[in-house]
Amino acid sequence: MPRDKAALKAFPAALDAETRVHDDHHVSLRLWLRLLSCTNQVEGRVRQNLQSSFNTTLPRFDLMAQLERAPQGLKMSELSQRMMVTGGNVTGITDSLEKEGLVIREVDSADRRVYRVKLTAEGERQFRRMAAEHERWVVDLLGVLSPRQKKQLLDLLGELKERLTGFNGERQP
Amino acid sequence: MPRDKAALKAFPAALDAETRVHDDHHVSLRLWLRLLSCTNQVEGRVRQNLQSSFNTTLPRFDLMAQLERAPQGLKMSELSQRMMVTGGNVTGITDSLEKEGLVIREVDSADRRVYRVKLTAEGERQFRRMAAEHERWVVDLLGVLSPRQKKQLLDLLGELKERLTGFNGERQP
DNA sequence: CAGCAATACTTGACATCTCAAGTATCTCGC
DNA sequence: GCGAGATACTTGAGATGTCAAGTATTGCTG
C-alpha cells in the first residue's frame, strides 16, 4: 500500500529501506494517535470542570480569555484567528455571550464593517473567577509530568507547531 | 498586551519558591495551549483532506478504522470507548454509515441489547483506499520532525497519557 | 467618480459532540 | 421465576464546528 518508499532521513545505516520506512510510518501514526489522545483527555476534563463548576463551555471560556488580554477589544476576525476557528463560529459564541451580558459588540467608527468585541465589567469579573480555577486544573493535570519533562515536551511541540505552520503538503525528498 | 515577557528559559536555581511556582504554572499553561495547537493543526489538515479527497469526515473514518481492525465486529459501547466519544454520538455516526451501506448492525443472538457493527464489503474497500492516503498525510505532516524527535515525543506523550489515565484530581504535594 | 474586487460579518445547512432521559433486555437475589 | 438494578442503545435538546453563500462597506483602478 505505501507506494512511497522514499527514505526520509539520514539513518545510521543498519536497516534496509523497507524496514526503515515501515517503522517510521508506524511511529508517525502512533505519535499522531497519542497526541490526539492526550489532548482529548485534558480537554475533556477541563470541559467537564467548566461545565460543572461554572456552567459554561471551553469555547466561551476561550473567547473571554482572548478578550481579557485585549482591553481595547478584538475584531471578530481576530478572535477567529486566535481561537483557530471559523468566523461563522465566532459569531455564534459571541451572540451567546452578548445575550448574557458578558461581552459587547462595539461598532468601529473608522470601519463600519468591523465590530470590536469587549468584555463587560460583569464578563471580566466572571472570567477572573474562572481563570483562577482553570489554571489550577491545568497545572494539576500536567503536574503528572516532571518540570523537566514539561520543558522537553514544550520544546518538541514548539518545534512541531513551528514547522507545521510553514508546511503545505510538500513531500520530503 | 503580552505582559508576561518573563524569561521562561533555563533558570539555574536562584529563584524563590514563589517565582518557581509561578514559572511552573506558566509552563503548564503554555504546554497545554501548545498541545492543543499542534493537535488542531494536524487534525484540521487531515479533516480537510478527508473532505476534499473522499467527501467524508474524521469521525466516520475513525469509526471505520476501528471496525477494520475487528473483523468480528464491535459493539456500540466498544466503539464508544475506542473512539473516546459518547454513546449517543456513535449512534449517529453509525446511522449515517449504515445508510450508505458502508457498515452494518447485526443483532447479537446471545444478548439482544447488543449490536455488532461490521464493515460491509463496500465499506472495507472504501476504507482501504482512504487508509493509504491518510497514512501518507500523517507521515508527511509529522515528517517535519526527525525520527529522533518523534521518538522522544512519543515517549513523553506516552508518559503523559499513562499518568493522565490514572489521575483523578488529587493535588500534588 | 464609477465599478469592482477584497474584506468583515452573518446566515443556513449539516455534521459532531455531550448530557440527560427514555426504552429494551439481562442478571441476580430471594 | 419475579422484580430491582445494571447494562446497551436511542433520542432530543443545546453548543460547537465547517463550509458556502449572502450582505455591507472599503478601497483601489481606470
Q: Which tens digit of pLDDT belongs to each residue from B18-41? A: 445 566 678 999 999 999 999 999
Residue A13 one-letter amino acid: A
What residues of chain A lie within 8 A of the CB of B172, using their CB?
140, 143
Laid out side by side, the sheet with A103-107 consists of A74-75, A115-119, A103-107
Is A19 a residue whose pLDDT tops 60?
no
What pLDDT does A170 receive?
A: 58
Residue nearest to nucleotide C8 (CA to C1'): A113
pTM score, two decimals?
A: 0.84
Within B55-146, residue ranges assigned H as helices are: 58-68, 76-83, 87-99, 121-142
pLDDT in tens, A136-153: 999 999 999 999 999 999
What is the pLDDT, as a whole number, of residue A165? 85
- Tell me which residues of chain B, numbers 27 to 86, contact chain A at a CB-CB cutoff of 8 Å: 27-32, 34-44, 84
Contact list in B for residue A143 (CB cut-off 8 A) is: 28, 171-172
Footprint on protein of nucleic strand D, Cβ below 7 A: A 57-60, 83-89, 92-93, 96, 111-113; B 44, 47-48, 51, 75-78, 87-88, 90-92, 94-95, 105, 111, 113-115
Once rounded to an integer, what is the mean pLDDT over residues B125-138? 95
With bands split at pLDDT 50, 70 and 90, how would you rate the model's confidence at B5?
very low
The whole-chain average pLDDT of chain A stands at: 86
Q: Which of A78, A113, A72 is nearest to A94 (CA)?
A: A78
Residue B128 has pLDDT above 70, yes or no: yes
Q: What is the pLDDT of residue A25?
A: 74
Mean per-residue pLDDT, B76-85 = 96
Q: What is the Cα–Cα distance from B78 to B63, expressed in whole angstroms?
A: 11
Burial B44-62 (b: 16+ CB within 10 A, else e): ebbbebbeeebebebbbbb
